[in-house]
Structure 1
Amino acid sequence: MAEEDTVTLYGFWASPYAKRVELALKLKGIPYEYVEEDFPNKSSELIRYNPVYKKVPVLVHNGKAISESLVILEYIDETWKTGPKLLPDDPYKRAQVRFWASFLEQLFGSMLTALKSSTGEAQHKAFMEVSHKLELLEEGLKNFYPDCTRIDGASVGLLDLVMVSMFGGKRVQEEVLGINVIDHDKTPLLSAWITALGDIPLVKEALPPHDKLVAFLKYIRENALKSSAP
């Protein structure tokens, strides 16, 4: 890209959606400015650049704003040819990546439901849904992405970024929720995939600090439980 290109990422340290974009920029070696948003006091720039959703991440490239993390990742891959290629050239494989990325988004939504559920039947139901979806993902990976455990910084793709941004902090999720989110015995491929991703130096450096993220998720959970209390 031309030297005069300017790239700014509006994010939030605990947002997995912003984190995956940040990782993509780092892995591709793209210089950028990072702007940390202070929630709930969103900046006027964020609201101006993303007037529809008013949330992070937003990537501003030469004054033009792109919102929604999966859209941003595809834009980055199409615009910058440096570093790992995030999407395969083959149309069928590219469609499969998009399908499983969307599935991971739904899975993480179930995780958030579990995080915010009160104890009892609602929480159990949310955990069961998470477990079922993890097993479906495990089976899908065996056919679509059997080599995921051999990933490194030069071969990271869009699906890897989505996975590590959501479950790279699985130890945090397990500590807050009190359950083994990704069980090695039940989903060994998923477990090995997360471990391989976490061993990549850039990923290891970029993930939020364990204790800080634990405190944040506990705060989210406690607030959710208070608001649902009779």
Structure 2
Amino acid sequence: MADEVILLDFWPSMFGIRCRVALAEKGVVYEYKEEDLWNKGELLLQMNPVRKKIPVLIHNGKPVCESLVIVEYVDQTWSHKAPLLPSDPYERARARFWADFIDKKFYGQGWKVLTTKGEEQEAAKKEFIHSLKLLESELGNEPFFGGKKFGFLDISFIGFYCRFYSYEMCGNFSIEAECPKLIAWGKRCMEKESVSKSLPDPQKVHGYVLELKKAMGIE
């Protein structure tokens, strides 16, 4: 009997993108269900009663929550193809460290760039650019964060690539001028079908960001 795989997601979510890319890398056939985050569906509330957030992967009726947990679950469950996490324990720990950095520090800094003004935004922008430079340093001269192979940390970060345009427009700066290697990395990732078919158009994402800011009273 074939696996039943469902992904509860929201199209501009950087975290949902991780799951889409991981599933595509593994060639997993799944049903995509778009969620309205302002009117959450019964299935989402049932499958993630603790956080009540997307993404949620439902595999044969069993929910897996939190994007990085989902990516690891996908990697281990469909282990026959395209390993995502490094096999070396140290490199695996290093990839998890930077993925945690993206979620706990980089994401919040980016949100401030999008939603603040004046001195507060300038301070947020400095912190954000510093984090970008740290990530660029971790990439080094390799084509991917996993070295020669696209992997876990690339998947953890690539969802933010389609939001780079919004960061630049709202913060009035150029990521390419600050971190050219990261832009080259993003373009390299976009050459992969698993990525290009999973990421929404940056202009469409920016339109969503502007709508969100308007709804929050931030013009």
**Secondary structure at 2:58's aligned position in 1?**
strand
Q: 1:139 deviation in Å?
A: 2.0
Q: TM-score, normalised by structure 1?
A: 0.87
Confirm whether residue 166 of structure 1 aligns to residue 164 of structure 2: no
Identity %: 37
Counterparts of 1:40 and 1:55, CA distance in 2: 11
Counterparts of 1:109 and 1:146, CA distance in 2: 27
For residues 133-172 of structure 1, the aligned pairs below 5 Å read 133-142=131-140, 146-148=142-144, 155-172=149-166
Confirm whether residue 109 of structure 1 aligns to residue 108 of structure 2: yes
- After superposition, what is the alpha-carbon deviation per residue over 1:121-161, rounded to whole angstroms, capped at 9, x for unaligned? 1111110110111122222222xx73428989xx4211111
Q: 1:202 deviation in Å?
A: 3.0
Counterparts of 1:135 and 1:167, CA distance in 2: 15
Match of 1:199 in 2: 191
Determine which of 58, 63, 69 is the counterpart of 1:60: 58
Match of 1:183 in 2: 176
Decide whether the 8 Å contact of 2:7 with 2:30 is kept in 1.
yes
Confirm whether residue 84 of structure 1 aligns to residue 82 of structure 2: yes
Q: 1:176 deviation in Å?
A: 4.1
Match of 1:43 in 2: 41
Match of 2:209 in 1: 217
- After superposition, what is the alpha-carbon deviation per residue over 1:67-88, rounded to whole angstroms, capped at 9, x for unaligned? 0000000011111024321101
RMSD: 2.2
Relative to 1, partners in 2 of residues 1:149 and 1:63: Cα closer, same or farther, differing over 3 Å? closer
Match of 1:5 in 2: 3
The residue type equivalent to 1:115 in the other structure is L
Q: 1:174 deviation in Å?
A: 2.1
Decide whether the 8 Å contact of 1:47 with 1:54 is kept in 2.
yes
With 166-175 and 102-111 compared, the bigger mean Cα shift is at 166-175
Q: Specify every segment of 5 or more residues in structure 2 that has no aligned partner in the other structure, as ranges.
A: none
- After superposition, what is the alpha-carbon deviation per residue over 1:177-226, rounded to whole angstroms, capped at 9, x for unaligned? 4322x234x323222211211222332222113332121011122333x2
The residue type equivalent to 2:169 in the other structure is E
- After superposition, what is the alpha-carbon deviation per residue over 1:32-69, rounded to whole angstroms, capped at 9, x for unaligned? 11110012000011011101110100001111101000
- Give every structure 1 segment of 4 or more consecutive aligned residues whose post-TM-superposition deviation is greater than 4 Å: 149-152
**Secondary structure at 1:206's aligned position in 2?**
coil
The residue type equivalent to 2:159 in the other structure is S
Counterparts of 1:147 and 1:210, CA distance in 2: 22
Aligned length: 218
Decide whether the 8 Å contact of 1:111 with 1:130 is kept in 2.
yes
